[in-house]
């Protein structure tokens, strides 16, 4: 670059020249370094940087003078990031080093999906028959040729429609999945540093040279080299298959794309993106595309990678395999199946029945044909062959009718509609069948913070020391948010020195991403980052603190690469604390520590007086008493402390004696002892307004809600009682009104106690230090105890009998670690407690707990990285969309966009609606199939032909049923769905009531068709059929009993050519089917038929689904066009208005017939179905928050 100096000031000119000389020398040194490194074989190219990370070439870094030298060579540095950030510069980088995006594999072409559809054996059979029919056209009689050729062409057209319909559905579904995947990828955001400023961007915008901030829960977006970091551990199992966490530091700086940050935080220099990254190379190998540059030169690279790395592109399969491994015992013990498996079993059974009926019909038609040897066997061979082909065509058509082709369409449409509607209810569905699974959920294990509560934490109480000159006997003062804010009272009580120390403790011992600001538009506080830290920062702002970034900048240390301070002891769910060390201006050092009071008070020696002048002895009992008051008021408690050092400690990162063998995540360090307590705060997080109602709805729906929280037990119990998770009957009555009620045994417990009670202890192994619950004292802490027994996979072995004693009562799991939640999920899914009828009866009598009579279907909410195993092990995993980590979102099935528990209830309702919609369509289509099969058999037996032509049956089966699937799949859910018990994994998809409905409607349809066929007054007087051929139809009854050859030949000729009579049969059948769609909208149960009129009214709520009405109108119009204009193509004749009217009347008759069928349902119901039928659902819900079989008769009806 050329720089002109246009100044008249000699001194300034001289200074500028010196600066320019320094810059030039810097660039000369950099150029020399790059040249020397290049001569050593380390090229600053996309392939060279890619190989550096892939092969772990530390010599590459040394050649460029370390990580900072490499950053400089790439035009970047650790503090300011990329220096040139204009669009042209970024575009040049993408051109030189590649873009951080890998093109997804192309979607399957529409034509390939058509070809796949041709592999269906029934489609092939239809094509063979149609081809045979067309080949025999020249040999037909002249008056038959047009009919025969039209039938063959019509079959070809129908097959083409079916193939295009199936291909269109598959293609649309693939596009939708691709769109959702891109949306999920676009939701990921990373903090990068460019031009000295921190900004958020999507992974696709990251370029080589960017400095990316990484933290717990992030999935690394591109290959990089660690610039700085604290206690960073990476999970590389997605690439290596090894579940061991790998520490990353200056000695081991290479971080691979696709891996996950499990602990710590830091900065990463991006060196390889897109197809040049390790993940991109694997993608290239899988998809057969060309990746990074070195693969061309090294043919062994791909082999090397395949032996060293797992194929990461098949991530979905990888995750499913892991989930299967984690829940292998569940799969063995759980005999239930999901909806797709049930539908497959149902379709297989229907297909077999259709095959038997088709075979029987073919043999009957062939038998009748051969039973007329004089007439039929003397025909020309071509006509005999044509007749046999026609019989085979009818048989194949019967098989096609029997196979429910519309069922997959109904499933896909129902799930697709549900996914769209759930998005409006703040549920983003990742795995489509999770929609349906939620309809069977019996338990929801929910987080508290942000899910049940608003995640708008505010400090409502505070405990500080007294002044140096006086105060209470225990040296503490409790501040409550009554008439004055906590901040105002603190300013009145505490000295400026004390407040300054408090502010420094809160701001300097928090994450750099945590920010608080006042929004003038909404007149509310805006939180970004950890909600607990936000509450502290909000109080600091109210106390008059300066901007956190300004304060932090005052304590930056040039000798470290931290944003401020000299050392960090990061937070972990096991430690329940975090600490940060800063260097003071006078040369000393100060450690700030904050965390759960139990983890701070144990290492505290005194409490700072409110005037900040002295340290007083601390009364631990008084503090514990205050903490309990806070917790019983449903507040989260947090302690803040500090410790001063005259000089830098030499052993500050050493663990305490006895903790050397404990994992780093649980260690307490030497520097975190001998603390001085600053304050204990009580933080309130109010319940969401919708939570209480949502939990009540879950109780009504027979779904348990269990709270899994990291809060203290007293806090968790108070909040769960507020929202209804703990019922009044679950609490032990208290004689002292001043003391809060306590839950009954096992209704609420801490994670350590739960862990101790449900796992098998390995008494043969030596004792180790571990988290433990002491049965004698009831205390929890790190103790020397025998370890837990583990299986071959290293997982703790669950004592299922002990677990089954606890889980029916358990409502609150406090101080819950992620592995406790995982144990709870696995134990619930494996439980067979429902088979122990005596225990279930005792639970109901003693505690009013109803055990659902099937395997538990478990849904779990989670937000942290460590929640991922539980999310995968659950039947449905919900990740938090606002505060959830990328790893949690990757492991889940559904993302809660608003982190609101009420959204999970919406998922339950829509999940049940999916099951209902598909069951409705099954009821509708199987009714059509039964009626059509019966008609085909009657025709084959009596006429040697089906009264419904092949093209007519295909029309009913494909066109009408496809439209019906759309109509029934679009039915919106009703609140009544939450007044029913879960469906259960073993529940048959077709219930006893559905069978009665189907058989009743099919009997009505077959009866009407037989009357039209055989009852002379109906055909003559009502439908007014006067044609010559129609007059022969008046002799049908005689023909039934005396099948003369001549009459049979005439009748067959009528069927082949099409008459008004058979057109009426076909039209009436279609209209009866069309009207039966109204009946299919209700899946009656005996209980609801007996207790509510709503189940009898098939028109209820139809105005809420205009699509249903529109499809009915479209279907009717298509049928009218077919009857009046298609002619020989569908073997029909035009009908008069009078004939249409009577056909419509028979069709409408399906609705009153359903009324009679409902009476049959009530009359034939087993006695058990009427048990407790007088108990209302509201009463049942009021007495059951557990897995209610609401009520018993419903389960009997569902499983009959």
What string of DSSP letters covers 412-452?
HHHHHHHHHHHHHTTEEESSTTHHHHGGG--EEEE-STTTT
Which of 447, 886, 893, 899 is flagged as catalytic?
447
Lookup: tokens for 333 = 């013990």
Parallel, antiparallel, or unpaired for β 812-814 and 748-750? parallel
Per the annotation, the verdict on 29 as an active-site residue is no
What string of DSSP letters covers 873-893?
HSSEEEEETTT--HHHHHH-S
Lookup: tokens for 39 = 């001569």
- Closest C-alpha to 277, from 102, 471, 430: 102
Please give the Cα distance from 893 to 433 (Å, whole number).
Answer: 9
Q: What values do phi and psi take at 333, rounded to 5?
A: -85, -20
Q: Are 435 and 419 spatial neighbours (Cβ–Cβ below 8 Å)?
A: yes
Distance of CA 776 to the CA centre of its chain: 42
Please give the Cα distance from 492 to 496 (Å, whole number).
Answer: 10
Please give the Cα distance from 172 to 168 (Å, whole number).
Answer: 6
The burial of 1106, by beta-carbon neighbours within 10 Å (0-12 exposed, 13-18 middle, 19 or more buried), is given as: exposed
Residues with Cβ within 8 Å of residue 772, at least 6 apart in sequence: 752, 756, 780, 781, 782, 783, 785
Question: Tokens 């009078």 sit at which residue?
Answer: 1138
What is each CA distance from 1031 to 919, 1007, 1034, 1035, 1060, in whole angstroms?
44, 22, 5, 8, 11
What is each CA distance from 554 to 195, 546, 580, 615, 877, in whole angstroms?
21, 12, 15, 26, 44
Parallel, antiparallel, or unpaired for β 675-684 and 604-608? parallel
Please give the Cα distance from 1175 to 1087 (Å, whole number).
Answer: 10
Q: Are 400 and 951 spatial neighbours (Cβ–Cβ below 8 Å)?
A: no
List residues bridging with 201 in a β-sheet: 190
Residues with Cβ within 8 Å of residue 347, at least 6 apart in sequence: 403, 404, 407
Question: Tokens 């509708």 sit at which residue?
Answer: 924
Type and span of the H or E element at 708 = strand 704-708
Question: Tokens 């830098």 sit at which residue?
Answer: 648
Please give the Cα distance from 265 to 511 (Å, whole number).
Answer: 10
User: What is the maximum span of the chain, computed from C-alpha positions, in angstroms?
Assistant: 128
Sign of the torsion angle spanned by Cα atoms 304, 307, 310, 311: positive
Q: Are 212 and 221 spatial neighbours (Cβ–Cβ below 8 Å)?
A: yes
Parallel, antiparallel, or unpaired for β 780-785 and 768-773? antiparallel
Task: Give catalytic residue positions.
Answer: 447
């Amino acid at each position: 670059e050329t720089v002109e100096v246009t100044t008249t000031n000699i001194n300034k000119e001289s200074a500028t020249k010196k600066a320019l000389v320094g810059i030039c020398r810097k660039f000369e040194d950099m150029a020399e370094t790059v040249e020397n490194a290049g001569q050593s074989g380390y090229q600053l190219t996309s392939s060279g940087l890619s190989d550096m990370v892939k092969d772990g070439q530390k010599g590459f870094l040394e050649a460029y003078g370390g990580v900072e030298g490499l950053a400089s060579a790439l035009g970047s540095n650790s503090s300011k990031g990329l220096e040139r950030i204009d669009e042209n510069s970024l575009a040049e980088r993408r051109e030189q080093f590649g873009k951080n995006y890998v093109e997804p594999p192309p979607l399957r072409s529409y034509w390939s999906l058509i070809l796949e559809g041709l592999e269906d054996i029934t489609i092939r059979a239809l094509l063979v028959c149609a081809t045979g029919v067309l080949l025999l056209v020249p040999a037909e009689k002249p008056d038959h040729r047009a009919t025969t050729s039209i039938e063959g062409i019509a079959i070809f057209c129908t097959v083409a429609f079916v193939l295009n319909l199936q291909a269109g559905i598959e293609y649309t579904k693939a596009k939708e999945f691709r769109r959702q995947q891109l949306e999920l990828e676009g939701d990921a955001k990373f903090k990068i540093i460019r031009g000295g400023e921190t900004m958020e961007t999507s992974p696709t915008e990251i370029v080589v040279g960017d400095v990316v901030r990484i933290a717990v829960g992030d999935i690394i977006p591109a290959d990089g080299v660690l610039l700085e970091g604290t206690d960073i551990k990476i999970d590389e199992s997605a690439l290596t298959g090894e579940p061991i966490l790998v520490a990353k530091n200056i000695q081991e700086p290479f971080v691979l794309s696709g891996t996950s940050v499990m602990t710590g935080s830091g900065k990463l220099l991006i060196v390889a993106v897109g197809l040049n990254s390790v993940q991109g190379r694997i993608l290239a190998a899988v998809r057969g595309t060309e990746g990074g540059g070195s693969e061309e030169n090294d043919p062994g690279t791909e082999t090397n990678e395949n032996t060293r790395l797992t194929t990461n592109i098949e991530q979905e399969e990888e995750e499913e395999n892991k989930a299967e491994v984690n829940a292998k015992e569940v799969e063995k013990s759980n005999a239930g199946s999901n909806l797709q498996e049930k539908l497959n079993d149902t379709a297989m059974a229907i297909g077999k029945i259709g095959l038997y009926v088709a075979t029987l019909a073919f043999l009957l038609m062939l038998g009748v044909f051969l039973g007329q040897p004089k007439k039929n066997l003397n025909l020309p061979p071509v006509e005999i062959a044509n007749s046999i082909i026609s019989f085979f065509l009818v048989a194949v058509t019967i098989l096609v009718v029997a196979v429910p082709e519309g069922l997959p369409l109904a499933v896909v449409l129902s799930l697709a509609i549900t996914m769209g509607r759930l998005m409006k209810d703040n549920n983003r569905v990742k795995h489509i069948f999770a929609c349906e699974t939620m309809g069977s959920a019996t338990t929801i294990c929910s987080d508290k913070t942000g899910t049940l509560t608003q995640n708008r934490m505010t400090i409502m109480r505070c405990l500080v020391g007294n002044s140096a000159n006086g105060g209470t006997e225990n040296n503490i003062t409790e501040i409550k948010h009554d008439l004055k804010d906590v901040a105002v009272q603190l300013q009145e009580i505490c000295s400026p020195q004390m407040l300054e120390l408090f502010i420094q403790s809160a701001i300097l011992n928090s994450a750099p991403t945590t920010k608080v600001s006042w929004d003038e538009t909404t007149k509310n506080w805006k939180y970004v980052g950890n909600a607990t830290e936000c509450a502290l920062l909000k109080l600091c702002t109210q106390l008059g603190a300066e901007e956190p970034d300004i304060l932090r900048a005052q304590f930056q240390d040039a000798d470290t690469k931290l944003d401020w301070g000299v050392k960090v002891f990061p937070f972990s769910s096991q430690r329940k604390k975090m600490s940060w060390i800063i260097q003071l201006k006078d040369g000393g050092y100060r450690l700030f520590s904050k965390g759960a009071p139990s983890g701070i008070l144990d290492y505290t020696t005194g409490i700072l007086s409110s005037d900040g002048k002295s340290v007083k002895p601390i009364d631990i009992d008084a503090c514990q008493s205050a903490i309990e008051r806070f917790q019983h008021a449903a507040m989260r408690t947090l302690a803040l402390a500090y410790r001063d050092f005259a000089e830098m400690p030499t052993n500050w990162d050493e663990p305490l004696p006895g903790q050397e063998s404990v994992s780093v995540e649980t260690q307490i360090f030497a520097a975190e002892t001998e603390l001085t307590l600053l304050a204990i705060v009580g933080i309130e997080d109010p319940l969401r307004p919708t939570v209480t109602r949502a939990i009540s709805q879950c109780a009504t729906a027979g779904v348990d809600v269990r709270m899994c929280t990291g809060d203290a037990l007293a806090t968790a119990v108070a909040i769960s009682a507020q929202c209804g998770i703990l019922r009044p009957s679950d609490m032990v009555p208290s004689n002292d009104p001043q003391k809060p009620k306590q839950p009954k045994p096992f209704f609420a417990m801490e994670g350590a106690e739960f862990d101790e009670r449900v796992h098998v202890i390995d008494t043969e192994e030596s004792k180790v230090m571990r988290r433990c619950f002491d049965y004698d004292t009831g205390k929890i802490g790190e103790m020397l105890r025998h370890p837990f027994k583990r299986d071959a996979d290293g997982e703790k072995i669950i004592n299922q009998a002990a677990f089954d004693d606890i889980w029916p009562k358990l409502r609150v799991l406090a101080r819950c670690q992620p592995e406790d939640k995982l144990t709870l999920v696995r134990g619930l899914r494996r439980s067979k407690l429902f088979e122990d009828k005596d225990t279930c009866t005792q639970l109901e009598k003693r505690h009013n707990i109803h055990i659902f009579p099937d395997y538990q279907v478990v849904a779990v909410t989670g937000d942290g990285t460590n929640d991922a195993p539980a999310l995968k092990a659950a039947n449905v995993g919900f990740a938090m969309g606002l505060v959830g980590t990328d790893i949690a979102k990757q492991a889940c099935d559904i993302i809660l966009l608003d982190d609101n528990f009420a959204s999970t209830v919406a998922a339950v309702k829509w999940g049940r609606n999916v099951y209902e919609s598909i069951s409705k369509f099954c009821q509708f289509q199987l009714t059509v199939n039964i009626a059509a099969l019966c008609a085909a058999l009657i025709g084959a037996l009596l006429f040697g032909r089906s009264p419904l032509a092949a093209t007519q049956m295909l029309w009913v089966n494909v066109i009408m049923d496809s439209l019906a699937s759309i109509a029934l799949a679009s039915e919106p859910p009703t609140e009544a769905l939450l007044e029913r018990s879960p469906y259960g994994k073993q529940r048959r998809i077709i219930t006893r009531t559905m069978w009665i409905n189907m058989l009743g409607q099919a009997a009505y349809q077959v009866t009407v068709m037989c009357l039209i066929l055989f009852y002379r007054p109906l055909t003559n007087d009502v439908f007014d059929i006067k044609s010559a051929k129609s007059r022969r139809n008046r002799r049908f009854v005689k023909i039934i009993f005396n099948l003369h050859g001549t009459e049979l030949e005439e009748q067959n000729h009528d069927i082949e050519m099409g008459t008004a009579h058979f057109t009426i049969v076909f039209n009436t059948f279609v209209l009866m089917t069309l009207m039966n769609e109204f009946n299919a909208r209700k899946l009656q149960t005996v209980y609801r038929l007996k207790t509510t009129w709503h189940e009898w009214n098939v028109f209820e709520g139809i105005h809420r689904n205009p699509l249903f009405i529109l499809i009915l109108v479209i279907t009717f119009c298509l049928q009218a066009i077919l009857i009046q204009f298609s002619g020989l193509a569908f073997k029909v004749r035009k009908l008069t208005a009078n004939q249409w009217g009577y056909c419509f009347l028979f069709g409408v008759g399906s609705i009153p017939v359903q009324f009679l069928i409902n009476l049959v349902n009530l009359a034939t119901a087993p006695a058990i179905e009427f048990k407790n039928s007088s108990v209302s659902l509201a009463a049942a819900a009021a007495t059951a928050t557990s897995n209610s079989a609401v009520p018993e008769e419903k389960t009997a009806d569902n499983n009959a």
